Structure 1
């Protein structure tokens, strides 16, 4: 069986090569002589029996991860859950799924057709988590999905892979807040997600977060090649709870805006 580290190494390789090449530059700007601590990664899928959230969670559960918080994003028609490993040094995993049945009949039909041929064998083990798209998709279909749901279009185009990794701001000495990180990145040409404010959350909810806007990356569709939003980099600072332990969950109102890092 994979070790946790081997799986995250492969997810990182896919993320930096296919979805967010600029992540390497972020490391160069923020590293302080030791590897950056990854607070969490996020994965996306469709809430359909053969490809739903639970299928994506299986490889992590096999490595000892346990389900923790549950989240609902009604406007975006998303459900999500986060998972934690007994080893606190292992990143948390945040998995979301589009509630396809709540979408238009057009979107439902498209998505069900896309994933119809994804069988359980394709989702055995953990390799599928960083292998991208498991179906064919043409450019017009992508645009039709994007008109209704940026999230649906993103999953349809990119398939599986981490849409973001997250720097733990708590470990940094030269940056004591997400705002300080944002300032450094903006000075170096990055665009910051300003939806809901540059920094989402604060000490009152025990978590502050910010993120870059997604890299535009080339995607080969069945009939054309186009640059579309790929992955982004997030930054999280966690605050201690009354018992002194750092808060380990997520804040739905903040996560809702982080999703928009991949919007056009």
Structure 2
């Protein structure tokens, strides 16, 4: 590993406390969840939140400002991006997730226009959702479908993994520390990829760093002074009121055809990034997402997360991917 990704400013002390409190309460303590799994999930969130100003902004401007003191923050899922080439791709993270007690789900998600495929992982025992274990969404870029020029740029960084696949320990280290498993990119390579595939440029620069985490809005209690919990639409209005820019691709709220999975997100934070050869520039970093999973059987009292809509929706995810696009960054 050769580069600590980006040059995000150190969070203010008050933000560090918010992030630390949120990370320490992500999971309810339980002997059903291995300590290593708990530590990995908390550490990945902590590193991501420290590099993503939107996270403490939501914790401070929405959770702390509007909810009862001590409200637990639940996360619906984590999401990662990868290059779909031999030795990397979905399986390079999947091998880590399996060791942490996760199982790959049968859904195959494809995004032809973006040249992406994705898979998602759930705890082997889905009742562990109720203890706070998030789903894990892992996507990969179909590198072979890019132009020869873009393929050559990517190949120049990841060629070694064809003969020596990325080892689980290295993938885990990259995930936890937001450190690249390949050489620090030069700005010209990043910009060349950005012209063709925003996803490719983001992945080259940020590697296995957590792309986004997602607040499980339906698991939050009613805000202080209110009698009923908020849906994602109302929660998202509070996010906007806190000064964050929202992803408006396809509308602020993205809904699955069955109306049971509703999602929104911020536009990615801009981060200072140290490219090779001394160039420092602002590029798209990570963002924060918000989700509401509605009951599979309306009108029935819900006692656990498994009674709600599970999985992911291609139409929603396709628009959420745009949270790191140059167009959205320009509109901020």
Normalising by the smaller structure, the TM-score range is over 0.9
- After superposition, residues 127-138 of structure 1 pair within 5 angstroms as 127-130=173-176, 131-134=178-181, 135-138=183-186
In structure 1, runs of 5+ residues without a counterpart are: none
Instruction: State the TM-score, normalized to the length of structure 1.
Output: 0.94
- Give the aligned partner of residue 330 of structure 2: none
Aligned residue for 2:310, secondary structure, equals coil
Larger displacement relative to structure 2 (151-160 or 119-128) = 119-128
Structure 2 residue 233 is matched with structure 1 residue 179: yes
Per the TM alignment, residue 21 of structure 1 is displaced from its structure 2 partner at its CA by 2.5
- After superposition, residues 141-152 of structure 1 pair within 5 angstroms as 141-152=189-200
Structure 2 residue 102 is matched with structure 1 residue 57: no
Counterpart CA distance in 1 for 2:142 and 2:292 is 30
Larger displacement relative to structure 2 (142-151 or 22-31) = 22-31
Contact 2:212-2:288 at 8 Å conserved across structures: yes
Contact 2:95-2:168 at 8 Å conserved across structures: no
When residues 212 and 121 of structure 1 are mapped into structure 2, their CA distance, relative to the original with a 3 A threshold, is: closer
- Give the aligned partner of residue 98 of structure 1: 141
In structure 2, runs of 5+ residues without a counterpart are: 1-33, 224-228, 301-306, 327-332
- Give the aligned partner of residue 84 of structure 1: 122
Aligned residue for 1:3, secondary structure, equals helix
After superposition, the C-alpha distances for 1:156-176 in whole angstroms (9 at most, x for unaligned) are 011111110100011222352
Per the TM alignment, residue 202 of structure 1 is displaced from its structure 2 partner at its CA by 5.3
- Give the aligned partner of residue 251 of structure 1: 313
Counterpart CA distance in 2 for 1:25 and 1:242 is 35
Counterpart CA distance in 1 for 2:289 and 2:119 is 18
- After superposition, residues 1-264 of structure 1 pair within 5 angstroms as 3-18=36-51, 20-28=52-60, 29-31=62-64, 32=67, 33-68=70-105, 69-85=107-123, 86=125, 87-88=128-129, 89-118=132-161, 119-120=164-165, 123-124=168-169, 126-130=172-176, 131-134=178-181, 135-172=183-220, 173-174=222-223, 176-201=230-255, 204-223=258-277, 224-242=279-297, 245-264=307-326
Larger displacement relative to structure 2 (70-79 or 178-187) = 178-187
Counterpart CA distance in 2 for 1:167 and 1:161 is 18
After superposition, the C-alpha distances for 1:66-107 in whole angstroms (9 at most, x for unaligned) are 111220000000000010002223100000000001111111
Per the TM alignment, residue 203 of structure 1 is displaced from its structure 2 partner at its CA by 7.7
Counterpart CA distance in 1 for 2:202 and 2:35 is 27
Which has more radius of gyration? 2
Counterpart CA distance in 2 for 1:222 and 1:34 is 43
Aligned residue for 2:160, secondary structure, equals coil
Contact 1:41-1:166 at 8 Å conserved across structures: yes
Counterpart CA distance in 2 for 1:27 and 1:2 is 25
Counterpart CA distance in 2 for 1:186 and 1:10 is 27
Contact 1:231-1:262 at 8 Å conserved across structures: yes
Counterpart CA distance in 1 for 2:322 and 2:166 is 32
Aligned residue for 1:124, secondary structure, equals helix
Contact 1:122-1:128 at 8 Å conserved across structures: no
Counterpart CA distance in 1 for 2:85 and 2:114 is 16
Task: Provide the aligned C-alpha RMSD in A.
Answer: 1.8
Aligned residue for 1:83, secondary structure, equals strand
Per the TM alignment, residue 122 of structure 1 is displaced from its structure 2 partner at its CA by 5.1
Aligned residue for 2:156, secondary structure, equals helix
Aligned residue for 2:250, secondary structure, equals coil
Per the TM alignment, residue 128 of structure 1 is displaced from its structure 2 partner at its CA by 2.0
